[in-house]
C-alpha cells in the first residue's frame, strides 16, 4: 500500500509537498486540470466544487500539457522526497468531442494519445480519468464530528 495525497493544480507548491511528506505521504496524485481558471468559485485552499451552473470552462483545447511541464513537476515533487503516482483526469477541453462524438473527435483522440506518451516519458506511471462532463465532486458541511465539531 502507498500513502498519497491528492493535490489540485493551485496546490502544487513546495509547501504542500513538504506538508504531504510531514504527514507521512510517499506519493502524490496531481490534478492538472484547472476547473475554474479565473472563476469566482475557485477556492485557493480547498477542492473546487462548482456552482449550480456546473464546473465552468476547464482549459485551452489547443494547449496540451508539455513534456517540459511534466518533467519540471516531477522534479519538484522528487525534490521534496515524494513520487508522482498518477495524474488524475484529462482536461475536458482536450476530450469533450471524443465523449460527445463532436467535430474535433479525431484530433482530440490524437491529443489524448500524445498526452499519454508525454506522461509516460515524464516517468509518471498512471493516468487516471473520469470521462464525465458533469464533474465528480460533491460534499456537505455539517456537524458530523465528535462533540458537534464541523468537518471542513
- For the chain, domains (ranges, CATH) are 4-148 (3.20.20.150)
Helix (H) / strand (E) element for 96: namely helix 96-100
pTM here is 0.76
Report the sign of the C-alpha dihedral through residues 19, 23, 27, 31, in that order: negative
Please name which of 58, 57, 59, 70 lies closest in space to residue 114, comparing C-alpha atoms: 70
CB-based contact 35:12 (threshold 8 Å): no
Task: Report the alpha-carbon distance of residue 96 to residue 55 in Å, rounded.
Answer: 14
CA distances to 53, 68, 115, 126, 151 from 119, rounded to whole Å, are 32, 10, 6, 8, 35
Residue 65 has what pLDDT? 93
Residue 33 has what pLDDT? 83
Residue 89 has what pLDDT? 85
Residue 151 has what pLDDT? 56
Residue 54 DSSP code: B
User: What is the chain's pLDDT, residue by residue, as a tens digit (152 residues)?
Assistant: 899 999 988 889 999 999 999 999 999 999 888 765 555 555 555 555 555 555 555 677 788 999 999 999 999 999 999 999 999 888 888 888 888 899 999 999 999 999 999 999 999 999 987 655 555 555 566 666 677 766 55
Report the sign of the C-alpha dihedral through residues 66, 72, 117, 134, in that order: negative
Amino acid at each position: 500500500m502507498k500513502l498519497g495525497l491528492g493535490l489540485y493544480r493551485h496546490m502544487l507548491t513546495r509547501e504542500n509537498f513538504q506538508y504531504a511528506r510531514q504527514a507521512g505521504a510517499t506519493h502524490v496524485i496531481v490534478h492538472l486540470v484547472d476547473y475554474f481558471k479565473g472563476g469566482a468559485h475557485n477556492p485557493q485552499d480547498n477542492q473546487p466544487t462548482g456552482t449550480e451552473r456546473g464546473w465552468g470552462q476547464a482549459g485551452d483545447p489547443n494547449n496540451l500539457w508539455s513534456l517540459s511541464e511534466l518533467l519540471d513537476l516531477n522534479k519538484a515533487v522528487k525534490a521534496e522526497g515524494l513520487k508522482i503516482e498518477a495524474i488524475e483526469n484529462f482536461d475536458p477541453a482536450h476530450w469533450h468531442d471524443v465523449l460527445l462524438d463532436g467535430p474535433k473527435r479525431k484530433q482530440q483522440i490524437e491529443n489524448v494519445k500524445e498526452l499519454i506518451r508525454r506522461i509516460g516519458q515524464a516517468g509518471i506511471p498512471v493516468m487516471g480519468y473520469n470521462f464525465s462532463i458533469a464533474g465528480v465532486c460533491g460534499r456537505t458541511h455539517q456537524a458530523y464530528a465528535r462533540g458537534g465539531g464541523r468537518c471542513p
